[in-house]
Every structure is written in structure tokens, then in C-alpha cells.
């Protein structure tokens, strides 16, 4: 699958990555991101500043693929518990693509103007774990237990800590 990203240009997802991305993109929850503005109200001042959370998700998944290619080159130098197997690779790609599912309208601005609002990460994890969502069903079709593993990456509790930090800056 080849897509055009506004930041990275042409991006491709091949082999198992293509199946993962294609399956997740087909869900209602990911498609909803097309209507969530990445830049909040910025486009009201700068009309060309049009960017959606959907575009951002594609770019984040692309960057994860690039990171994983780099990690493959140094894999033998990592301790065994920090090496990426196929499952961890697939989970990290899904986490990168899905990390912003819980964003409300106008992105971070929504959280700032709503006193006591939950962070979008919490809403994202709720959607991944809920058996009532298309995204949960899609993850479980890809691999049994994947929704929980991807959630653990977003919450910072996954055994490979550096993967958590790649999808959420909150876990430092």
C-alpha cells in the first residue's frame, strides 16, 4: 500500500505491515480521525494549515516502520528481552497508528478548554479495550490479545519500555 503523506511524501506499508495498516484503517474509529483537526483552530488564522489526526496517524505509522528498520540493524546488540519479534513489531505499528484515537474535536485544544477532561490517551485505551468497537475487533482478528498489548504500549506498561516512549511521550 502506498499513500501520500503531507509531511513525508509517499509512504509505503509492505508485507505484514500492509495487512495491519489496511485492517486498522478500515475501522470506524480510525476513519473518524479524518474529521479531527490536528492543529486545533490554527486554520482560522492560517487557512493553509489543514491537517487531520488521520494524516498524523499515517505519518506516525510510517515513522514507526522506519524506526523498526533501524532497530533491525542493531538488533543483535540489544539484550534479548529488548529485541523486536514479529508480534512486538506489529503491536508497535498498530500503537503508532492508533495512538490518537481518543482525541476530541480540535485536538489538544479540546482537553485544555474542558475542565477536568480526561486525556485523549485514556479515551484511546478505552476504545481499544471495548469489545463494542470496530477497532477492538480488528486488533483481535489480527492477533489474539493484540488490543491489550497495544493498550499496554500506550499506557507505558509494555515490557519493551523504549517502544512505549516511541508512541507516547508521557512515559519518560
Q: Report, as residue numbers or ranges, the catalytic residues.
A: 120
Give, rounded to a whole angstrom, the gap between the first and last alpha carbons of the chain: 33
Cβ neighbours, 10 Å, residue 162: 13
CA-CA-CA-CA torsion sign (31, 84, 17, 19): negative
> Nearest 5°: phi and psi at 118?
-70, 150
CA distance 125 to 147: 9
Amino acid at each position: 500500500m502506498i499513500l501520500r503523506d503531507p509531511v513525508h511524501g509517499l509512504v509505503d506499508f509492505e508485507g505484514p505491515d500492509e495487512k495491519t495498516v489496511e485492517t486498522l484503517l478500515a475501522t470506524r474509529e480510525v476513519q473518524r480521525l479524518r474529521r479531527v483537526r490536528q492543529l486545533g483552530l490554527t486554520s482560522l488564522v492560517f487557512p493553509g494549515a489543514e491537517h487531520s489526526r488521520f494524516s498524523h496517524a499515517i505519518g506516525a505509522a510510517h515513522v514507526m516502520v522506519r524506526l523498526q528498520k533501524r532497530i533491525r540493524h542493531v538488533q543483535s546488540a540489544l539484550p534479548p528481552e529488548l529485541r523486536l519479534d514479529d508480534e512486538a513489531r506489529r503491536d508497535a505499528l498498530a500503537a503508532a497508528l492508533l495512538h490518537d484515537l481518543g482525541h476530541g474535536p480540535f485536538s489538544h485544544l479540546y482537553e485544555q478548554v474542558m475542565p477536568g477532561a480526561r486525556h485523549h490517551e485514556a479515551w484511546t485505551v478505552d476504545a481499544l479495550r471495548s469489545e463494542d468497537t470496530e477497532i477492538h475487533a480488528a486488533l483481535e482478528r489480527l492477533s489474539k490479545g493484540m488490543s491489550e498489548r497495544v493498550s499496554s504500549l500506550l499506557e507505558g506498561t509494555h515490557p519493551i519500555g523504549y517502544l512505549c516512549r516511541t508512541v507516547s511521550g508521557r512515559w519518560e
